[in-house]
């Protein structure tokens, strides 16, 4: 049973991250022709395109993809709760929103970690690093305005990590089921 739960979590999390990445790439107007962007769009198109026919975007935001991501987040927790014999009722809709927020934060965290490691290793232009930079810029630039570079070191990622951990702790205390997400 643990193997099935592990595989279900992996499948739901992977799909949810791809959907969040799609919305995020559109939001920051990242390079559409980048290989990473192309992968995300092609991997999510079979799920998103049918819904985009009747759920329009709003203000440059892809509402269809956001609603699908919310549904996937809710379905993840409902499926895992059903496997363990629990019933959530209307609480599932609230938990679905928290799952979506947690996955978005985790994705941001992972992208910043990858960027930090790649900055030490990669020399010159790298297409993936460019897209990751475009994705994190809306979060890191306000921090960079407050805390400038110190001796060539950019501390904005460290401050962002601390802020994200504080937000995660606050969200964790709001729901007892959070640890199981």
Range of the domain at 94: 2-180
Token pair for 179: 């640890």
Q: In DSSP terms, which residues pair with 153 in a beta bridge?
A: 150
Tokens 């991250």 sit on residue: 17
> Is the model's pLDDT at 176 over the cut of 60?
no
Q: Are the CB atoms for 36 and 127 separated by under 8 Å? A: yes
Domain count, the chain: 1
pLDDT band at 177, cuts 50/70/90?
Answer: low
One-character DSSP codes across 79-99: HHHHHTT---TTHHHHHHHHH
pLDDT in tens, 63-116: 999 999 999 998 888 888 888 777 777 777 888 888 888 889 889 999 999 988
pTM attached to this predicted model: 0.85
Q: Are the CB atoms for 12 and 76 separated by under 8 Å? A: yes
| DSSP-derived 3-state class of residue 150 | strand
CA distances from 7 to 13, 76, 85 (A): 10, 11, 18
**What is the distance between the alpha carbons of residues 87 and 78, in angstroms, rounded to a whole number?**
8
pLDDT in tens, 110-154: 999 998 888 888 777 888 888 999 999 999 999 988 987 777 777
């Amino acid at each position: 049973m643990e193997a099935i739960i592990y595989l279900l979590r992996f499948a739901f999390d992977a799909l949810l991250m791809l959907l969040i990445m799609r919305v995020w790439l559109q939001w920051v107007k990242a390079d559409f022709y980048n290989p990473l962007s192309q992968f995300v769009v092609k991997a999510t198109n079979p799920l998103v395109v049918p819904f985009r026919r009747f759920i329009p975007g709003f203000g440059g935001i892809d509402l269809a993809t956001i609603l699908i991501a919310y549904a996937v987040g809710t379905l993840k927790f409902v499926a895992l709760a059903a496997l363990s014999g629990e019933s959530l009722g209307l609480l599932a809709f609230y938990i679905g929103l928290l799952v979506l927020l947690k996955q978005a934060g985790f994705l941001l965290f992972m992208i910043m970690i990858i960027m930090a490691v790649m900055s030490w290793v990669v020399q010159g232009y790298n297409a993936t690093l460019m897209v990751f930079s475009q994705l994190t810029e809306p979060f890191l630039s306000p921090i960079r305005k407050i805390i400038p570079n110190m001796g060539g070191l950019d501390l904005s990622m460290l401050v962002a990590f601390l802020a994200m951990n504080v937000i995660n702790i606050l969200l964790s205390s709001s729901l007892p089921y959070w640890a199981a997400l």
